[in-house]
Each structure stands twice: as C-alpha cells, then as structure tokens.
Copies of this chain bind each other. A is one copy, B any other.
Amino acid sequence: MFYHVKELQYRAKPERPDPIYAKKLQEILGGQFGEISVALQYLFQGWNTRGDGKYRDLLMDTGAEEIAHVEMLATMIARLLNDAPVNAQEQAAKDPVIGAVMGGMNPQHAIVSGLGSMPVDSVGNPWTASYINASGNLLADMRMNLTYESQGRLQAVRLYEIAEDRGVKDMLSWLIARDTMHQNQWLAAIAELEAKENVVVPSTFPRELEKQEVSYTLFNYSAGNESAKGRWAYGPSMDGCGVFNYVENPVPFGKKPKLKPAPKWVHDTPLNVLRTSDVHPDPDTK
C-alpha cells in the first residue's frame, strides 16, 4: 500500500518557461529508460519476488522513490510550459527566435495536455510496458536495472549539457546523483548474487545439458580479425569454467534446410508451380 506526501523529494523549479526543453525533458519521464520505466520495473520485480527479505525491500524502496522522480519531472515540465505563446506564426513574424522555439514545441503539450506533462518520450511515443521486465530471476533483473540506470544517467547527463536554465540543471544534478547511487546499489546486489551463483544466468541449469564445445567460442563472422584482440578471445572465461577460443573462419554446423510442402488447405504456392519454376531453362545451358 502507498501513501503520498505533498512535498517533492527535491525541488523542481526552472528559472523561466521553455517549451522546447519541456519536450526534450519528456525523454527521461516517459521514454524507454525514463522514470516511469524504472518505477514500474522495480515495483513489478518486487511484487514478483518469491521470498521475502532484503532484495524485495530494496526493490520496493527504489520503486517508490522513482514515482517521486516522475512527480518531480511532471512538475518541472508543467512549469517549463507556463505561458506558452498561442500562435507560432504570429510570433515568428515578430521574432524568429520565438518562431523557432514554437516550431520545436510538442504540439500535444498545447492541444492534448493543456500545458501539462505527458507519459510520453521526447518525440511523443506513449510509454509502453514492452520496455520493462520482471523475470523472477534476480541476477537477470538486477542486470536489467543496472542497464536502465546506466542508460538513464547517460540521458540525464546529455539533457544537463544542453540545458541552460539553472533550475533545470539543479534538479538534474539531483537525479544524476540518484542514478549514481542506483548504479552503485545494483552493482552491489549483482556482486553479492554473482558471488553466490557465479556469473552466467541462470546459474541453476546443468552445464552438461548445453553444447559445451561452443560455450566459450568466439566465431569471427566478419572479414578481418580485430575482434581477436579482446579479452573475450583468449584466456580463461569470465565464469572461470572454460577457456575462450577464437574461430577465425567459422563454417556451418547444420545443413541447408529443406521444408516439407504445406498441406493443401493452407493454399501456399503449390509445389508444381515451385518445381516448374525450378526447371526454368538454365541460362548457362541455353
């Protein structure tokens, strides 16, 4: 169950409105790696954790914090949209800078949300649950979480760099710091789990059931062999269970596939048509 307090986790107040920047800032609210993604991903992972304890608690703590970040961004975006001018062309005729600004605004901020934030990314794609996952395997999920905090902090930093407003930068410096913590905490959880389980997910699948002869092989499927120069091509594998090897000219292990004709009711191209076409006079022998 959840309680809301009306104060923000951290302040979210720009120096002045800026509807173009509002559009861009949507990326870390409603984009692939935005705050809605991490909030719902951590909550679902917490709810799906089969077993009590500190991992579930950590996920719920962080999920609850991320909703507070959605709230901060929603507030900031609404404020960046204050006083948006009505009419782009009229303004543009007077002042080309304003014209450029209006041309770059998200029109739905005016027409759809009435100068409020929206659960969309910086080009207007609605947030979708196909961004996230909760698999029941904590090591897999913690790696996903680390990924989201890494991509998310990267985006927040880019937004910091292209911002000029000190209020915006102030709020972003908070979010960036929290992403530092969240990367650190998922790294800590991963370290703990890897220490107990080794590094390959899932750790519980019997090794003898996989084709172990290719479990540590790098196949070089592109001309040239620069990929041979990496740590991944020679020496002990990262899981300590094998030795990396490099195959410079990989060949197929399987055969050319030949599929059975479809039953008649499917009305695929009939075999006699396919076959006739195969006996089309060979140009080389004409």
Contacts and interface: CB of A to CB of B under 8 A. Distances in A.
B11 A255 contact: yes
Contacts of A87: 162, 164
In the complex, which of the residues A32, A53, A139, A259 has the most CB atoms of chain B within 10 Å of its own CB atom?
A: A259
A181 B213 CA distance: 10
In the complex, which of the residues A18, A147, A282, A284 has the most CB atoms of chain B within 10 Å of its own CB atom?
A: A147
A23 B107 contact: yes
Contacts of A264: 204
Contact of A2 (B2, B75, B126): B2
Contact of A254 (B10, B58, B132, B233): B10
A67 B27 CA distance: 23
A241 to B, nearest CB: 9
A67 B270 CA distance: 28
Contacts of A177: 210-215
A273 B193 contact: yes
Contacts of A255: 7-8, 11
A154 to B, nearest CB: 5
A111 B64 contact: no
A58 to B, nearest CB: 4
In the complex, which of the residues A24, A106, A108 has the most CB atoms of chain B within 10 Å of its own CB atom?
A: A108
Given A210-B173, A212-B177, A222-B60, A2 B265 contact: no
A162 B9 contact: no
A64 to B, nearest CB: 4
Interface string A207-239: 001111111111111111111111111110111
A228 B117 contact: no
A278 B232 CA distance: 14
Interface string A175-192: 011101101110111011
A69 to B, nearest CB: 10
Contacts of A30: 129
A222 B187 CA distance: 21
Contacts of A10: 211, 253-254
A168 interface: no
8 interchain residue pairs of minimum CB distance: A114-B136, A48-B116, A8-B254, A103-B104, A123-B124, A7-B252, A4-B222, A119-B129
Given A1-B68, A3-B222, 7 more contacts: A61-B227, A111-B122, A116-B136, A125-B125, A151-B201, A180-B215, A204-B264
